[in-house]
């Protein structure tokens, strides 16, 4: 069985922060949302860190920005795990 990887304790950015760097500066959020086929509100929620990148959104971003869906989902996973580690579960006992 492979050994588990060592968890990172570095802060992980929300994928919305990463998305900001991939969008052209001269493209409005509304125009980007239209090109992605989503509402401006949905895209704004991601860009502003209020919503997660779903698998469907990751596929939309992949098609529009030529950045893999795996990149977006990995960024979301890292962010989620970092946040979860800020409040580790209590009452867990080793199984093995």
Q: Which of 18, 29, 14 is nearest to 67 (CA)?
A: 18
Residues of the chain with pLDDT under 50: 1-3
Give the pTM: 0.86
The reported pLDDT for the residue numbered 88 is 87
Query: Taking Cα atoms as reference points, which of 14, 7, 22 lies closest to residue 76?
Result: 14
Q: Which pLDDT value is given to residue 1? A: 47
Domains of the chain: 15-85 (1.10.260.40)
d(CA 30, CA 39): 8
Per-residue model confidence (pLDDT) at position 10: 79
Q: How far is the C-alpha of 79 from the C-alpha of 65, rounded, in Å? A: 21
Q: Under DSSP, is residue 84 helix (H, G, I), strand (E, B) or coil?
A: helix
Question: What is the C-alpha to C-alpha distance for residues 36 and 22, in angstroms, rounded to an integer?
Answer: 13
């Amino acid at each position: 069985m492979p050994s588990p990887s060592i968890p990172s304790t570095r802060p992980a950015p929300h994928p919305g922060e990463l998305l900001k760097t991939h969008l052209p500066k001269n493209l409005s959020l509304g125009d980007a949302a239209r090109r992605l086929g989503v509402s401006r509100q949905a895209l704004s929620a991601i860009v502003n860190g209020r919503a997660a990148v779903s698998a469907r959104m990751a596929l939309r971003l992949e098609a529009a920005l030529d950045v893999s869906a795996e990149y977006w989902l990995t960024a979301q996973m890292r962010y989620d795990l970092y946040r979860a580690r800020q409040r580790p579960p209590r009452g867990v006992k080793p199984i093995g």
